Structure 1
């Protein structure tokens, strides 16, 4: 008696071409979706524990508190997508803020020209990082650790470890507010959100953005596809330096001074935001909007625990646990893929 052969069970399609892999890399990862869930649960928990959490002014305060690190984290996201790392970002930002404030106050330079000088210095440090990584072929960790110390030393020497006050109004304009209902919102918050939208569009909808993902996925394959990987890496680090300069301006606008002690933990805070947002530390996968979610998660936890009267030590503890969970999720999803 003849038997009919059974057709094999259908399995989900696996991306086989480079284009399919890149498209998959730009979709929300399991870690990114986990970030959304974590943010919603955190908001629900703190809304249950304290009546002040859901107030409009409190949400505005959270956005102000994460604004500077959130902008720094945009540059960090670009770097990590290429499978790199930037430990110098916080101190490069601090140096940029000192340069622009001292040029305006001590040298009497036009405020806009002083801001441009601060942006130029931050961009130059980004270019230096990229040049050492691509031309000398040094590891990003070592290069940016070195430039972190260089930027810190220059900041302290040039400022003589003194804050710069008496800033012109043009430098603090992003700290001004406008009213939405009963809530005061700063222009810096709007600037941060706009920067995230621009970065999301560039990474997701343009050829340079696709090239960044390709570089992070497999540098050799990207080179064989015709992408000039060394030049792209140099551009990513340089552009990240420019973003740190913009963060420096936002920092000055928020604090009203040029602070040489600023930025000393922003490198780790920015990496935390990137990781919590679902971007893989191995490069080539993640979404910049996820980084915004990661920054908001940290901001919500710190704000909520403060409202509850919990010690700041527990804020650091919870942040560390969240980072480990995010990296673990990334590892598991990579192995399953």
Structure 2
């Protein structure tokens, strides 16, 4: 009976009657569109879109994807903090995610907020988190399918603990690095004009600081230098050379920041998940640091409180 059962199972698989054979999850923190399209029906894969443009998901999304709104689902809107343990646990249960689920995140703006989502998932102990390399931009450019239907999934009963504080930097951690109490390298991933103080924030930004410039000692490596024209992330070798040229490697812990933490999440992902460096995301970023009374800033452009 055992041999007969084995023969039957093998035969059914060969002739295609035992269902599709799903590809093994790729090693590393990225998946490409080809792999994801072939595995959209895998019950152990959950696809989650985290975009910033309102209505984008509703107009069309990757089939079976579920929508997460970063500024309500992933944060505490009153405390200006990440989502609480209880709130995030409710969210992942609703998404049907367990600890052994492969979660593939993607979004617009070169995966900025998808990377924020990855940072939150990782902070709450979910290990099998991946980004769709190139995000919506690459998926659409490759003419892969979109859907407007809302996916229906069975909720999970997963339980989570408190967030991992080692992945997050606070204002005090940045101050300790500035004052040389610690040897952390601070990386400002904003544009050169933001870093110099020439502009306070990108056009159309609502979250602002009253001062422009950067954290003293911070090294400027704009996030965009880590991506290719099609939105995919550069190879590990290219990334190592890019950051090494700026004096950034795995010899010291790293703190990354931007304006509100979303672009720095992208660099956190690149440095920690792809290169394996010890990195914390300072999600308070410039809107906290630049608005804090009594802290020093560097402003080579000469702008002070909106004037000169």
**Normalised by the size of structure 1, how large is the TM-score?**
0.24
Larger fraction in helix: 1
**Normalised by the size of structure 2, how large is the TM-score?**
0.25
